[in-house]
Structure 1
Amino acid sequence: MYKLFFSCFLILFFSASYAQIGGKHVYEFLNLVTSPRQAALGGKTITIYDNDVNQAHYNPATINADMDNHLALNYGSYFGEVSYGTASYAYTYDRRVQTFQAGVNYVNYGTFDGRDENGIATSEFTGSEIALSFGYAYNVPYSELYLGASAKLIASTLESYNSYGGAIDLGALYIDQDNDINYGLVIRNIGTQFTTYSGTQEKLPLEIMAGISQELENVPIRWHLTLENLQQWNIAFSNPARAEGTIDGGAVEEKVSFFNNALRHVIVGAELFPTKGFNLRVGYNFRRAEELKLLEQRNFSGISVGFGLKFNKIKFDYSYSRYTLAANTSLFGLTINFQE
């Protein structure tokens, strides 16, 4: 199983593509982190397999009976007036194979000042987007391989324009019980627009991810490694501020090295006391760090930290993610276990 997983990863990772990500897709809010635990570990962790019902948002293969009757609510303030929230609930119909999950992702972009083509003020307007999801996972008989799928209905309103779409996520998880290692592979946002904003069909933010995590044998730490955006190799772009001047007054564009571009696919994280009532978490997102760092000044972009604290049936989670000197995000989460 490990060899098969590794071979698939190599094929995906080295597939040729030469365009940077971002600004090319509709419904980009689908890529926002969905819980404080995810955010604190750097985002996009796909190999956690426990009772955290939030995990189904990023890998439906992690849906399991331990999530039964758990409800998770999360809220965060992004940048400026932008706020977003998520919710997730799981229910086990049959403890062997019948656990289902339902979720919602919502973002509100706040209020904008309207202007016409001449710059004259018009009425204010708002924007918001929402996705409703339904997921299911299946354990392949006589194996530690789990397969999952999640279907999403998407609605978006930007000023007077509306768009509706649909997507599915496909996930796989293999658990090596002997070494306590989890391997994950996910294809997210396979879908299309049902109706467009103004007649132009746009692509959804398709993404392929692979991950691995392990809980150390003699230390209460689980580390996580996620490889994001494997659907294309080149995700770097040249920063104009780093261009070098020439004698004739021109400029030589910054060259992003092979190694630097490779690192931008990597997210690492670690969780202290992962199975206890109190958890500490830290993560580092290399792409975020490279894209948002300032010249000749340390601003620690890409770093995220957080903790989880359980009180009987309720668990509280918090994360702080560093973006720039002027903008950082905090995410708050509450998970209620109605089963206990």
Structure 2
Amino acid sequence: MLKKIIALFCLLFSLGVKAQVGGEATYQFLNLISSPRQAALGGKVLTNVDYDVTQALFNPATINVAMDNQLALNFSSYLGGIGYGTAAYAYTIDRRTQTFHAGMTYINYGSFDGYDENGVSTGSFSGNETALSFGYAMQVGYTDFYFGANVKLITSKLEQYSSFGAAVDLGLIYINEDLDFHAALAIRNLGSQITTYAGLNEPLPFEVDFGISQRLENVPIRWHVTLENLQKWPISQPNPARATSDLGGNQSDEKIGFLGQVMRHTILGAELFPEGGFNIRLGYNFRRGEELRIVDQRNFSGLSAGISIKMSKMRFSYTHAKYTSAGNSNFFGLQIDLQ
């Protein structure tokens, strides 16, 4: 069984290796940060297998019985006044059939003033997108591997244009309980548009991510390392604003070496007291930090930090993520135990 699942992952990965990242696919909101916890740990985490019901929006293999009857509501006032949020809920039928998961991701781009080609006002318009997901995970035989899948229905309305699509996420996670070590692989957004905006079929933001994490034996810290966008190499291109000129006026483009490309795929995170009622979370996203960095100015792009506090049957989470000197994001989350 395990060999069949690994073979399926390899096949799906080979079908999507030409997939692109930002700006070259539709429904980009599908890969936005799903919770304050994820935001605090650098933006993408695949390996948390605990009460965090929102984690399954990114890696369905993490669906587990600890999520039973947990409801999570998350919101962010994003860059440029964009508002988006997520919701998730899980329910365990019984110990044999495990846990079913449902989730939603919603984004509202706000209101815009419309004008025709002659500069005449056509009134205001808005844009919003929504994805509904349904997930399930299962143990692979009697191994330490767990396999999960999300099925997603996607709607998008941008001004007078609308689109509908469908996709699946696939996840595989290895859990070593003796070492408290987790390793996970997620293949996201395998699908297509069913109806297009204006007759042109666009690809979905296909993504392959890999992550590992471990809780230290004698210290209440769980560290995380995530490698994102493994479907594309190289992931970064020279920034024209960082070109240099010599005394003769000859211009040289920014050079991004092999190590620079590797680092741009890497996200680091750490969580203090991961199983307690009070958590402190820190993260660093190398790609965000490098691509949003201002030359000759320290602006701490890529850093994120957050806290979580549990009060009775509710857990409140907050994260502040640093993007640029001109724009940062705050993430708020509430998880309620309905049992």
In which range does the TM-score fall when normalised by the shorter chain?
Answer: over 0.9
The answer to whether residue 336 in structure 2 is matched with residue 301 in structure 1 is no
- Runs of 5+ in structure 2 lacking a partner? none
Quote the offset at 1:244 in angstroms. Answer: 1.6
What are the residue-to-residue correspondences of 1:21-32 with 2, within 5 Å?
21-32=21-32
In 2, Cα distance between equivalents of 1:131 and 1:236: 28
> Which residue identity lines up with residue 207 of structure 1 in the other structure?
E
Unaligned runs of 5+ in 1: none
One-letter amino acid of the counterpart of residue 319, structure 2: S
What does 1:232-247 correspond to in 2, within 5 Å? Answer: 232-246=232-246
Cα distance in structure 2, aligned partners of 1:108 and 1:220: 38
CA contact (8 A) 1:74 1:87 kept: yes
Structure 1 residues 284 and 86: alpha-carbon distance in aligned structure 2, compared to 1, 3 A threshold:
same
Residues 232-270 of structure 1 show CA distances to partners (whole Å, capped at 9, x for unaligned) of: 111111111111225664522211111111100000100
Residue of structure 2 equivalent to 1:276: 276
Tell me the distance in 1 between the aligned counterparts of 2:182 and 2:11.
20
| 1:194 aligned partner | 194
Are residues 245 and 14 of structure 1, via their aligned partners in 2, closer, same or farther at CA, if it must alter by over 3 Å? Answer: farther
In the alignment, structure 1 residue 323 sits paired with structure 2 residue 323: yes
CA shift, 1:125, in A, is 0.6
Note the alpha carbon deviations across 1:99-127, whole angstroms, 9 max, x for none: 10000000000011112123333211100
The 1:256/1:186 distance shift into structure 2, 3 A limit, reads same
Q: Matches of 1:253 and 1:17 in 2, distance apart?
A: 27
Q: Distance in 1 between matches of 2:233 and 2:16?
A: 6
For 1:9 and 1:282, locate their aligned partners in 2 and report how far apart those are by CA, in whole Å. Answer: 31
Q: What is the deviation of 1:15?
A: 12
The separation in 2 between residues aligned to 1:17 and 1:242, in whole angstroms, is 29
Number of equivalenced pairs: 335
For 1:146, give the aligned amino acid. Answer: Y
Amino acid at match of 2:312: N
Letter in 2 for 1:78: Y
What SS is found at the alignment partner of 2:279?
A: strand
Q: Residues 236 and 87 from structure 1, CA distance in 2 versus in 1: closer, same or farther, beyond 3 angstroms?
A: same
Q: Is the 8 A contact 1:20 1:237 kept in 2?
A: no
Q: 1:18 to 1:190 in 2, by over 3 A?
A: closer
Specify the code of the residue in structure 2 equivalent to 1:180.
D
TM-score where L is the length of structure 1: 0.93
Superposed CA RMSD = 2.5
Q: CA deviation at 1:139?
A: 1.0
Cα separation, partners in 2 of 1:15 and 1:237, compared to 1, 3 Å: farther
Spell out, residue by residue over 1:47-96, the C-alpha distance to the aligned partner (whole angstroms, 9 max, x if none): 00111101100100000111110000001100122100100000000123
1:132-147 to structure 2, matched below 5 A, reads 132-147=132-147
SS in 2 for 1:56: helix
Give yes or no for contact 2:19–2:205 (8 Å, CA) kept in 1: no
Task: Tell me which residue corresponds to 1:64.
Answer: 64
Percent same amino acid at aligned positions?
57
Give 2:151's aligned amino acid.
A
What letter matches 2:194 in structure 1? F
**Corresponding residue SS for 2:320:** strand
Whichever residue aligns with residue 62 of structure 1, its letter is T
1:153-197 CA-to-partner distances (Å, cap 9, x unmatched) read 000000000000000000001101121100100000000000000
